[in-house]
Chain A
Amino acid sequence: MTTREQVVVLRRSIDWRALWQNIYQAVLSVALSLLIGAVLLAVSGQNPLVAYRSLWSGAFSSVDRFTETLVQATPLLLIAISVSISFRCQIWNIGAEGQMILGGIASIWIALTFAGLPPAILLPLSFIGGALAGALWSLIAGLLKAYAQANEVITTSMLNYIAVYLLAFLVHGPMKDPAGFNFPQSPLIARALELPRLVAGTRLNLSFVIVLLIVVAALLYWRTTLGLRTEIVGASRRVARQIGLSVALTIAVVSAISGALAGVAGWGEMFGLHFRLIEEFARGLGSLGIVVALLGELHPIGMLVAAFLFGSLVVGGNAMERNAGVPFALVDVIQGCIILLVLARGYIFKSRRSTR
């Protein structure tokens, strides 16, 4: 204790330049997409300013609409986090939609089958069931990749089809609500199981808070040994093998984690919004979630921002269709432009990074 050793504390400083570059490229992508949309509007004889004003006010002008934007962002963010973990491990998992569907099916099935249990037990049980179902569905592709080198792009997209038709089969058949006037939907879950609303009179519910917690968990994940392991296997399978990591096991574990998160997204949609299985509740969310993940640079905070943006586009787009008479398809066009620009931004914005 007598001698004071000189301890040099080394700290990683934030790479502001890289961060700034990412932000400005993302902003530029979005701005350019809106510009392209404006040109299309003008060409089709609409006033772009009017249309965009109604897009903006549709997404942000009232508590109602703002919360709806968050509602739309919730599953997107969760799916983005789900796939980002796979992507950073170089697993091109595009099966989030299927995993989400399985999560929804399992959690509703649990809620209906064990309806006698007290809600305090049944709600967590349905959550776990949803996560587990998503994980297992994802593991099918994960294990095939880990141990049989099956291409996950193919297996996960095929599993998506199976999930979609399984859901259709269930709501038209075994799980159809007998008192539902023949609609393809399951019976409602008990009132007590519905997730509490955060703002009365809106659809914003507890699942949004859960997703924010998962964002925090994702930030922490990359500070764990498992997170580093994920990145090492993603960066170089050869080095991973050499330092004694099991590549196959890592792929399986990462697949399961991704699937579980997507399964939770399904649970959130069921218990927060729909309260019953309906056909196509996950439609398009899988691929949109992937876009959110890429736009957010696979970083939890980046994806948070991107999910919010896409949520507002969906909500604002609906309002624009209603109020300005602009077809919602234009929002799809803008989204498509954002996707293209994000993926090609390295070429378009000419950021010559001197990698040496």
Chain B
Amino acid sequence: MGVVQMVGITKRFPGVLANDQVNLELHKGEIHGLLGENGAGKTTLMNVLFGLYQPDAGQILIRDQAVTIASPAAAIQYGIGMVHQHFRLVPPLTVTENIILGLKGRGLLDVKAAERQVKQVAEAYGVQIDPGATVRDLSVGQQQRVEILSSLYRGAEILILDEPTAVLTPQEAESLVVSLKKMAEQGKTIVFISHKLEEVMRLTDRVTVLRAGRVVFEALTRDTDKAQLAREMIGRDLVSLRAEQRNRVLVLAGAQDAVPAAEPVAPRATGAVVLEAKAIHANDDRGLPALRGVSLIIRSGEILGIAGVDGNGQHELAETIVRLRPLQAGQLFVANEEASNWSADDFLQRSTGYIPDDRHNDGLILGFDLTRNATLKLFRRRPFSSFGFLNYRAINQFTGQLMDDFDVRAPNPFVRASTLSGGNQQKLILAREFSQTPHLVIASQPTRGLDIGATTDVHQRLLGERDRGAAILLISADLDEIMLLCDRVLVMYNGQSMGELDTHTADMQTLGLMMAGTPHSGAEGAGGVV
């Protein structure tokens, strides 16, 4: 009855057993959740099914026939489509052009006919997209729809989605869920890779949990619950973890002893102003205004959260502060020094840390090994180099130390950064940025795409830095994260500040309104003068 059966799949990478004797069965018309922490082997397993990797052992049966899936092209022949975390689209081409890209035609290209067909497929599954739009101009959520449509257009019966909601706004995620349910109703089989428990509970029919490359649990979704799944996923109890974390936050927040969670906590006294932005303006990559007069203040020992729907200037705010993006108007001050005309080098020479949102392209050089990545910002200084020559001994030792301190899991420091899981990559970045005890940290979406274990690690590191007295700017699309970690939250909308709230007293409804573009009464653009 299974459309796809994967039997005893084993896949090894140098130093890692990514899949160990994994069995997985997919049924027609079901949404199957594949759950697990980063590095648990979910993506590897699906890459095997999609023909990107060949298994070292095991067998794949499609409609009860043993098959060898030698390449993604073969997978598509078998009706398997996959939407990766990182999209594979050509930005200057239109939606339709991207979808028909690589398909065999009869010489002449009838774009109009193709557009009509794309439209038909889109309508059949309730996917809203303009087939003639240029992909470059689409939001991330829309680009994802193009990827999905591209698979459906090729006749995919089995659709694999790798962490599809990690990059979406709540609204976009909602509309994806509706589309996916519709596809399942029409007989498509959907594999939904995720580590978000709520989504899995809400969306899937069955769920399989992977841990350290093995299947540790499988069940009908209605027969299980979040707590059980979380336990299976991380091997410890999520509830206690959350409670622990929250308690830690409260303790850090000024109450010396354990405080009952219900009791409101007085705002902590904070230190000197470390970062001040006065009505700053900046443009996005296309040269259009992205920041329009944002003001903010962060003091030593506090975390200021930047909330807002993705794409409302948060990315540009981070890049402007770290001086990667020119300031069009306004002023920046770092520790009472005017920073408006600094270069990126000036900024990082003043003991600051920056955790960029795009860790693959901005945070790391994936082709470099861990030692080089760990010392990217330090190799020009002693003891990592002297008289222009690199000191490998110091570099290797430092990297080994960082890996120990920050629990970066890799066989050795000389593997490429690309071989690490997302969580370990991010831990390496944190290790690098925090190793020099920065007094200012700009963290942009530091937990995006990470699993619960790695997320908790990142959270505790950020709190630890705050404890130590660092001023932290935390940009996050995850409101829970902001409420959990931040002392104050500034909401951005359309390149402007909608005002600030104290997270101890803020309510979700007000925040929601601000995120939708309603300025908080009397606080618009005023910055954080408490």
Looking at the complex, which one of A8, A13, A231, A244 makes contact with B344 (CB distance below 8 Å)?
Answer: A244
Contact B400 A10 (CB under 8 A): yes
B414 touches A242 (CB 8 A): no
Query: Do A10 and B356 touch (CB < 8 A)?
Result: no
Could you say which of B79-87, B93-101, B360-368 contacts chain A? Answer: B360-368
Contact of B324 among A8, A9, A242, A354 (CB under 8 A): A242
**A354 touching B365, Cβ below 8 Å:** no
For B380, list chain A residues within 8 Å (CB): 225
Q: When the two chains form their complex, are residues B376 and A232 in contact, meaning their CB atoms are under 8 A apart? A: yes
Known: A225-B388, A225-B389, A236-B365. A8 touches B400 (CB 8 A): yes
Q: How far is the CB of A268 from chain B (nearest CB, A)?
A: 26
Q: Is A113 an interface residue, CB under 8 A from the partner?
A: no
Q: Is B488 an interface residue (CB 8 A)?
A: no
Which of B170-178, B268-276, B390-398, B496-504 is the interface stretch?
B390-398
For chains A and B in complex, what number of residue pairs have CB atoms within 8 angstroms? 83
Whether A242 and B400, one on each chain, are in contact in the complex, defined by CB atoms closer than 8 angstroms, is no
Closest Cβ neighbor of A239 among chain B residues: B365
Contact of B414 (CB < 8 Å), options: A12, A223, A238: A12
Whole-angstrom distance from the CB of B24 to the nearest CB of chain A? 20
Min C-beta distance of A7 to chain B, whole Å: 8
Q: Does A356 contact B (CB under 8 A)?
A: yes
A300 CA to B362 CA, complexed, in Å:
30
Interface range on chain B (Cβ under 8 Å from partner): 35 or more
A243 at interface (Cβ–Cβ under 8 A)?
yes
CB proximity to B under 8 Å, residues A225-258: 225-228, 231-232, 235-236, 238-239, 241-246
Are B372 and A228 in contact, CB atoms less than 8 angstroms apart? yes
Given contacts A225-B388, A239-B364, contact A356 B13 (CB under 8 A): yes
Rounded to whole angstroms, the CA-CA distance of A10 and B227 in the bound complex is 42
- Bound CA span A244–B342, Å: 11
Question: Is the C-beta of B3 less than 8 angstroms from some C-beta in chain A?
Answer: no
- Alpha-carbon distance between A200 and B11 when the two chains are bound, in angstroms: 62
Chain A residues with a Cβ closer than 8 Å to the other chain, count: 29
**Interface residue A62 (Cβ < 8 Å from any Cβ of B):** no
Which residues on the A side are within 8 Å of B367 (C-beta)? 235
Question: What's the least CB distance linking A244 to chain B, in Å?
Answer: 3
A355 to B13, CA, bound (A): 9
Contact of B377 (CB < 8 Å), options: A223, A225, A226, A244: A244
Q: Are A224 and B361 in contact (CB under 8 A)?
A: no
Q: What's the least CB distance linking A103 to chain B, in Å? A: 25
Extra A-B contacts (5), CB below 8 Å, given A242-B344, A356-B13: A10-B396, A10-B397, A12-B414, A235-B367, A243-B377
| B residues at A contact (CB < 8 Å) | 13, 44, 53, 322, 324, 343-349, 354, 356, 361-365, 367-368, 371-372, 376-377, 379-380, 385, 388-390, 392-393, 396-397, 399-400, 412-414, 418-419
Q: Could you pull out 22 A-B pairs where Cβ atoms are within 8 angstroms?
A: A8-B397, A10-B412, A10-B413, A12-B371, A12-B392, A12-B396, A224-B388, A225-B379, A227-B390, A232-B365, A235-B368, A239-B361, A239-B362, A241-B344, A242-B324, A242-B344, A242-B356, A243-B344, A244-B347, A244-B349, A355-B418, A356-B418
**Chain A contacts to B: CB under 8 angstroms:** 7-13, 220, 223-228, 231-232, 235-236, 238-239, 241-246, 354-356
